[in-house]
Amino acid sequence: MPAKTDYPELDNARRHWRYQPPADLLSGRTILITGAGDGIGRTAARTFARYGANIVLLGRTQDKLEAVFDDIRTATDTDPAIAPIDLEQTPYEGHVELAGMIESHYGRLDGLLHNAGLLGPRTPIEHYDTALWPRLMQVNVNAAFYLTRALLPALQTADDASVVFTSSSVGRKGRAYWGGYAVSKFAIEGLSQVLADELESAGRVRVNTLNPGATRTQMRAMAYPGEDPATVAAPEQHMDLYLYLFGPAARGQTGQAFDARDWPGA
Protein backbone atom coordinates (compact mmCIF):
# COMPACT_ATOMS: atom_id res chain seq x y z
CA MET A 1 0.00 0.00 0.00
CA PRO A 2 1.62 3.34 -1.03
CA ALA A 3 2.77 5.81 1.63
CA LYS A 4 0.43 8.58 2.76
CA THR A 5 3.35 11.01 2.89
CA ASP A 6 6.92 10.95 1.67
CA TYR A 7 9.70 13.20 2.87
CA PRO A 8 11.76 15.62 0.76
CA GLU A 9 15.15 13.79 0.88
CA LEU A 10 13.52 10.58 -0.34
CA ASP A 11 11.62 12.37 -3.10
CA ASN A 12 14.78 14.12 -4.30
CA ALA A 13 16.90 10.96 -4.27
CA ARG A 14 14.28 8.86 -6.06
CA ARG A 15 14.62 10.93 -9.23
CA HIS A 16 18.19 9.63 -9.67
CA TRP A 17 17.64 5.98 -8.68
CA ARG A 18 18.80 3.29 -11.13
CA TYR A 19 15.82 1.16 -10.16
CA GLN A 20 12.29 2.52 -9.86
CA PRO A 21 10.36 0.11 -7.66
CA PRO A 22 6.57 -0.06 -7.71
CA ALA A 23 4.92 1.76 -4.77
CA ASP A 24 3.76 -1.54 -3.24
CA LEU A 25 7.10 -3.36 -3.69
CA LEU A 26 7.31 -4.56 -0.08
CA SER A 27 3.61 -4.70 0.72
CA GLY A 28 2.79 -7.51 3.17
CA ARG A 29 6.46 -8.18 3.96
CA THR A 30 7.96 -7.95 7.44
CA ILE A 31 11.58 -6.82 7.61
CA LEU A 32 13.83 -6.48 10.66
CA ILE A 33 16.49 -3.77 10.54
CA THR A 34 19.29 -3.52 13.12
CA GLY A 35 20.57 -0.07 14.01
CA ALA A 36 17.24 1.34 12.83
CA GLY A 37 17.33 4.45 15.01
CA ASP A 38 19.99 6.40 13.13
CA GLY A 39 22.04 6.70 9.94
CA ILE A 40 21.48 4.27 7.07
CA GLY A 41 19.28 1.97 9.18
CA ARG A 42 16.90 4.80 10.02
CA THR A 43 16.63 5.76 6.35
CA ALA A 44 16.08 2.13 5.31
CA ALA A 45 13.31 1.77 7.91
CA ARG A 46 11.51 4.93 6.79
CA THR A 47 11.94 4.02 3.11
CA PHE A 48 10.94 0.36 3.35
CA ALA A 49 7.81 1.28 5.31
CA ARG A 50 6.85 3.73 2.56
CA TYR A 51 7.06 0.82 0.11
CA GLY A 52 4.67 -1.17 2.28
CA ALA A 53 6.82 -3.23 4.69
CA ASN A 54 6.12 -3.83 8.36
CA ILE A 55 9.41 -2.90 10.00
CA VAL A 56 10.82 -4.35 13.21
CA LEU A 57 13.07 -1.56 14.45
CA LEU A 58 15.99 -2.99 16.43
CA GLY A 59 18.43 -0.69 18.20
CA ARG A 60 19.91 0.25 21.54
CA THR A 61 18.51 3.78 22.01
CA GLN A 62 14.80 3.69 22.77
CA ASP A 63 13.98 7.34 22.00
CA LYS A 64 15.60 7.13 18.54
CA LEU A 65 13.56 4.01 17.76
CA GLU A 66 10.38 5.70 18.99
CA ALA A 67 10.98 8.68 16.70
CA VAL A 68 11.30 6.37 13.67
CA PHE A 69 8.27 4.38 14.81
CA ASP A 70 6.19 7.60 15.07
CA ASP A 71 7.35 8.75 11.63
CA ILE A 72 6.31 5.42 10.09
CA ARG A 73 2.94 5.40 11.85
CA THR A 74 2.23 8.93 10.61
CA ALA A 75 3.34 8.33 7.05
CA THR A 76 2.05 4.79 6.37
CA ASP A 77 -0.61 2.24 7.23
CA THR A 78 1.99 -0.44 8.05
CA ASP A 79 2.44 -2.27 11.35
CA PRO A 80 5.90 -1.42 12.78
CA ALA A 81 7.37 -2.69 16.06
CA ILE A 82 10.25 -1.70 18.30
CA ALA A 83 12.89 -4.14 19.58
CA PRO A 84 15.10 -2.28 22.07
CA ILE A 85 18.14 -4.54 22.12
CA ASP A 86 21.77 -3.71 22.83
CA LEU A 87 23.64 -6.08 20.53
CA GLU A 88 26.75 -5.91 22.71
CA GLN A 89 24.95 -7.08 25.85
CA THR A 90 22.21 -9.42 24.64
CA PRO A 91 22.91 -13.17 24.92
CA TYR A 92 21.67 -15.64 22.33
CA GLU A 93 18.55 -16.34 24.43
CA GLY A 94 17.45 -12.72 23.98
CA HIS A 95 17.50 -13.16 20.21
CA VAL A 96 15.49 -16.37 20.49
CA GLU A 97 12.89 -14.51 22.57
CA LEU A 98 12.68 -11.80 19.90
CA ALA A 99 12.25 -14.45 17.19
CA GLY A 100 9.34 -15.94 19.15
CA MET A 101 7.64 -12.53 19.42
CA ILE A 102 8.07 -11.92 15.67
CA GLU A 103 6.64 -15.33 14.77
CA SER A 104 3.64 -14.92 17.05
CA HIS A 105 2.84 -11.37 15.85
CA TYR A 106 3.75 -11.49 12.14
CA GLY A 107 3.80 -15.25 11.44
CA ARG A 108 7.06 -15.12 9.49
CA LEU A 109 9.98 -12.84 8.59
CA ASP A 110 10.59 -11.79 4.96
CA GLY A 111 13.75 -9.76 5.42
CA LEU A 112 16.67 -9.19 7.77
CA LEU A 113 18.96 -6.19 7.27
CA HIS A 114 22.08 -6.43 9.42
CA ASN A 115 23.01 -2.78 9.50
CA ALA A 116 24.09 -1.91 13.08
CA GLY A 117 27.82 -1.51 13.41
CA LEU A 118 30.61 -0.01 15.47
CA LEU A 119 33.56 1.76 13.87
CA GLY A 120 36.00 1.52 16.78
CA PRO A 121 39.38 3.21 16.85
CA ARG A 122 41.33 3.82 13.65
CA THR A 123 44.80 2.86 14.81
CA PRO A 124 47.51 0.39 13.77
CA ILE A 125 47.01 -3.22 14.89
CA GLU A 126 50.21 -2.76 16.89
CA HIS A 127 48.45 -0.26 19.17
CA TYR A 128 44.85 -1.52 18.92
CA ASP A 129 42.96 -1.46 22.25
CA THR A 130 42.73 -5.13 23.29
CA ALA A 131 39.61 -4.53 25.41
CA LEU A 132 37.74 -2.81 22.56
CA TRP A 133 38.46 -5.51 19.96
CA PRO A 134 36.11 -8.18 21.43
CA ARG A 135 33.38 -5.57 22.08
CA LEU A 136 33.46 -4.58 18.43
CA MET A 137 33.39 -8.23 17.31
CA GLN A 138 30.42 -8.83 19.60
CA VAL A 139 28.33 -6.13 17.89
CA ASN A 140 29.57 -6.46 14.30
CA VAL A 141 29.95 -10.25 14.03
CA ASN A 142 28.69 -12.35 16.95
CA ALA A 143 25.35 -10.55 17.30
CA ALA A 144 24.75 -10.86 13.55
CA PHE A 145 25.32 -14.61 13.85
CA TYR A 146 23.04 -14.91 16.94
CA LEU A 147 20.25 -12.93 15.31
CA THR A 148 20.48 -14.82 12.02
CA ARG A 149 20.51 -18.21 13.72
CA ALA A 150 17.54 -17.33 15.93
CA LEU A 151 15.53 -15.90 13.04
CA LEU A 152 16.20 -18.60 10.44
CA PRO A 153 13.02 -20.57 11.22
CA ALA A 154 10.91 -17.41 10.74
CA LEU A 155 12.80 -16.58 7.52
CA GLN A 156 12.35 -20.11 6.18
CA THR A 157 8.60 -19.81 6.76
CA ALA A 158 8.53 -17.06 4.12
CA ASP A 159 8.50 -17.95 0.40
CA ASP A 160 10.94 -15.29 -0.71
CA ALA A 161 13.11 -14.08 2.18
CA SER A 162 16.20 -11.85 1.96
CA VAL A 163 19.11 -11.51 4.39
CA VAL A 164 21.53 -8.64 3.79
CA PHE A 165 24.73 -8.11 5.76
CA THR A 166 26.15 -4.59 5.57
CA SER A 167 29.79 -4.69 4.56
CA SER A 168 32.38 -2.08 3.66
CA SER A 169 35.18 -1.52 1.15
CA VAL A 170 37.66 -2.37 3.93
CA GLY A 171 35.89 -5.70 4.44
CA ARG A 172 36.75 -6.70 0.88
CA LYS A 173 40.32 -5.38 0.72
CA GLY A 174 42.20 -4.74 3.93
CA ARG A 175 43.46 -1.22 4.56
CA ALA A 176 45.90 0.12 7.16
CA TYR A 177 44.47 1.50 10.42
CA TRP A 178 40.92 0.19 9.94
CA GLY A 179 41.66 -2.48 12.55
CA GLY A 180 38.81 -4.49 14.06
CA TYR A 181 36.19 -2.79 11.89
CA ALA A 182 37.80 -4.11 8.69
CA VAL A 183 38.33 -7.56 10.19
CA SER A 184 34.71 -7.71 11.35
CA LYS A 185 33.49 -6.88 7.84
CA PHE A 186 35.68 -9.66 6.37
CA ALA A 187 34.00 -12.00 8.88
CA ILE A 188 30.57 -10.81 7.75
CA GLU A 189 31.48 -11.52 4.12
CA GLY A 190 32.45 -15.05 5.20
CA LEU A 191 29.28 -15.60 7.21
CA SER A 192 27.21 -14.43 4.26
CA GLN A 193 28.97 -16.77 1.78
CA VAL A 194 28.67 -19.82 4.05
CA LEU A 195 25.01 -19.18 4.81
CA ALA A 196 24.15 -18.44 1.16
CA ASP A 197 25.73 -21.72 0.09
CA GLU A 198 23.83 -23.66 2.77
CA LEU A 199 20.46 -22.16 1.84
CA GLU A 200 20.76 -21.89 -1.94
CA SER A 201 19.33 -25.27 -2.92
CA ALA A 202 16.12 -24.75 -0.92
CA GLY A 203 15.62 -21.46 -2.81
CA ARG A 204 13.60 -19.72 -0.08
CA VAL A 205 16.18 -17.44 1.59
CA ARG A 206 18.73 -15.41 -0.37
CA VAL A 207 21.80 -14.04 1.41
CA ASN A 208 24.01 -11.20 0.20
CA THR A 209 26.35 -8.47 1.40
CA LEU A 210 25.96 -4.81 0.54
CA ASN A 211 28.64 -2.13 0.72
CA PRO A 212 26.85 1.23 0.78
CA GLY A 213 30.09 3.16 0.14
CA ALA A 214 30.65 6.63 1.56
CA THR A 215 27.39 7.76 3.14
CA ARG A 216 26.58 10.89 5.16
CA THR A 217 26.09 9.56 8.72
CA GLN A 218 27.64 9.93 12.17
CA MET A 219 29.92 6.96 11.49
CA ARG A 220 31.26 8.56 8.31
CA ALA A 221 31.84 11.85 10.17
CA MET A 222 33.78 9.95 12.86
CA ALA A 223 35.91 8.17 10.27
CA TYR A 224 36.60 11.34 8.24
CA PRO A 225 36.34 14.30 10.64
CA GLY A 226 37.84 16.78 8.16
CA GLU A 227 35.42 15.99 5.35
CA ASP A 228 32.62 18.35 4.28
CA PRO A 229 29.44 16.25 4.79
CA ALA A 230 27.79 18.03 1.86
CA THR A 231 30.20 16.20 -0.48
CA VAL A 232 29.03 12.76 0.72
CA ALA A 233 25.97 10.87 -0.57
CA ALA A 234 22.87 10.94 1.62
CA PRO A 235 21.59 7.49 2.70
CA GLU A 236 18.46 7.99 0.54
CA GLN A 237 20.64 7.94 -2.59
CA HIS A 238 21.44 4.23 -2.07
CA MET A 239 17.95 3.09 -1.23
CA ASP A 240 17.23 1.79 -4.74
CA LEU A 241 19.71 -1.07 -4.20
CA TYR A 242 18.40 -1.72 -0.67
CA LEU A 243 14.81 -1.90 -1.96
CA TYR A 244 15.80 -4.12 -4.86
CA LEU A 245 17.49 -6.66 -2.57
CA PHE A 246 14.40 -6.97 -0.34
CA GLY A 247 11.84 -7.08 -3.14
CA PRO A 248 10.73 -9.94 -5.42
CA ALA A 249 12.90 -8.81 -8.38
CA ALA A 250 16.03 -10.02 -6.54
CA ARG A 251 14.74 -13.58 -6.16
CA GLY A 252 17.53 -16.02 -7.03
CA GLN A 253 20.31 -13.52 -6.38
CA THR A 254 22.32 -15.06 -3.57
CA GLY A 255 25.90 -15.33 -2.33
CA GLN A 256 26.83 -12.03 -3.93
CA ALA A 257 28.71 -8.95 -2.75
CA PHE A 258 26.87 -5.81 -3.91
CA ASP A 259 28.37 -2.34 -3.99
CA ALA A 260 26.00 0.63 -4.09
CA ARG A 261 28.54 2.70 -6.01
CA ASP A 262 28.93 0.46 -9.04
CA TRP A 263 25.57 -1.32 -9.06
CA PRO A 264 24.28 -1.05 -12.64
CA GLY A 265 20.60 -1.04 -11.58
CA ALA A 266 17.86 -3.59 -12.13
Q: Report the interface residues with ligand NDP, using CB under 6 A.
A: 35, 37-41, 59-61, 64, 86-88, 115-118, 139, 166, 168, 211-215, 217-220
Contact 258, 210 (CB under 8 A): yes
Least gap, CB of 231 to ligand NDP (angstroms): 12
Least gap, CB of 195 to ligand NDP (angstroms): 17
Select which of 146, 181, 242, 244 is catalytic.
181
- What element of type H or E holds 210? strand 205-211
Quick one: 190 or 248, whose CB is closer to ligand NDP? Answer: 190
Q: Please, which residues bridge with residue 81 across strands?
A: 56
Quick one: 235 or 247, whose CB is closer to ligand NDP? Answer: 235
Tell me whether residue 181 is one of the annotated catalytic residues. yes
CA distances from 111 to 152, 175, 201 (A): 10, 31, 18
43 C-beta neighbours (distance < 10 Å), count = 27
How many angstroms from the chain centroid is the CA of residue 242? 8
Least gap, CB of 144 to ligand NDP (angstroms): 9
Which residue number places its CB atom closest to ligand NDP?
39
Quick one: 28 or 174, whose CB is closer to ligand NDP? Answer: 174
Least gap, CB of 136 to ligand NDP (angstroms): 10
If we measure between CA atoms, which residue out of 47, 20, 18 comes closest to residue 31? 47
Quick one: 136 or 158, whose CB is closer to ligand NDP? Answer: 136
Q: What are the residues whose beta carbons fall under 8 Å from the beta carbon of 134, sequence distance 6 or more?
A: none
Overall size of the chain counted in residues: 266
- Enumerate the active-site residues: 181
